[in-house]
Amino acid sequence: MWCNACLEDAAIRLHRIDNYFYASNWNFIPQYYGNIPSMGAYQRLHAVSIDMAYVAAPQFNAMSFFAGVKSAITAENDTVINNFGTLTFAVSAAQFINTQFSQVCQAVTLPNGNGTIAEFYFTTLYVWGDQSGFNCSAGKAMFDLPSNYARLFVSQVGVAAVDTFANVGCGSPGVGSCPAGSPGGGALTRFDGMNVDQYSAFSPEALSLCVRGHKML
């Protein structure tokens, strides 16, 4: 599937999916009218490729997110009542194989901050920040998961040009929507087989990794 969302704030919404879900070979390329500055600026302030809210154990293969979006993937909590009772989370056990985030402002974000329950597992991943001239990756983390309920496991990763690769958890003193003393069991992170060609690519002295109140595995 080739998706050119143009001005839609969210190209695809996956909401309250409580059954098996598998997606393969999705390409997001919002490039029509990309030469018009106002259009490009709007996309980088608003556009999202995939918005998730309660998606249970999805599997993705061969996903490509290219250019012109504020965030390739966002996740927010939602609630479903099923045989297990009342369940609330954003995304559970999301598995990604062969994923590329190229020239995006950010790869994965949690707009509602702490309290967002989300876990992501990426194997064979490539990440490249926005170098279009809009400077939308400056000062931002590619994976921005400011929640003590977040889990991010990545393996076999190539990183081209970013400021910060990942910001995970709240910690102390905490920031913004993830203040000090925020509840939660502590974010979990695992990084294996990473090659970073350049961090602080858009802002001097940016952190390559920022993990707060977490458990490193």
Domain-wise residue ranges, the chain: 2-216
Q: What is the DSSP string of 154-180?
A: EEEEEEEE-SEEEEE---SSEETTEET
The rounded distance, in Å, linking the Cα atoms of 122 and 162 is: 18
- SS3 call for 57: coil
Please report the pLDDT score of residue 183 as a whole number: 61
The rounded distance, in Å, linking the Cα atoms of 96 and 114 is: 23
Please report the pLDDT score of residue 192 as a whole number: 92
Distances (CA, A) of 43 to 22, 71, 90: 27, 10, 24
- For the chain, the maximum distance between any two Cα atoms, rounded to a whole number of angstroms, is 51
The rounded distance, in Å, linking the Cα atoms of 162 and 195 is: 12
Please report the pLDDT score of residue 198 as a whole number: 78
Q: What pTM did the predictor assign?
A: 0.88
**Residue that is written with structure tokens 């999916």 in the block:** 17
* pLDDT tens, the chain, 217 aa long: 777 766 668 889 999 999 989 999 999 987 666 667 888 888 888 889 999 999 999 999 999 999 878 999 999 999 999 999 999 999 999 999 999 999 999 999 999 988 899 999 999 999 999 988 888 999 999 999 999 899 999 999 999 889 889 998 876 555 666 665 556 667 889 999 988 887 788 887 666 665 554 444 4
Handedness of CA 123, 208, 46, 43 (dihedral sign): negative
Contact 159, 196 (CB under 8 A): yes
Please report the pLDDT score of residue 216 as a whole number: 42
* CATH number of the domain located at residue range(s) 2-216 in this protein: 2.160.20
The rounded distance, in Å, linking the Cα atoms of 5 and 157 is: 27
Please report the pLDDT score of residue 213 as a whole number: 46
- Contact partners, residue 1, CB within 8 Å, separation at least 6: 25, 26, 27
- SS3 call for 71: strand
Assigned token pair, 158: 């190539």
SS3 content of the chain, % helix, strand, coil (to 5): 5, 55, 40
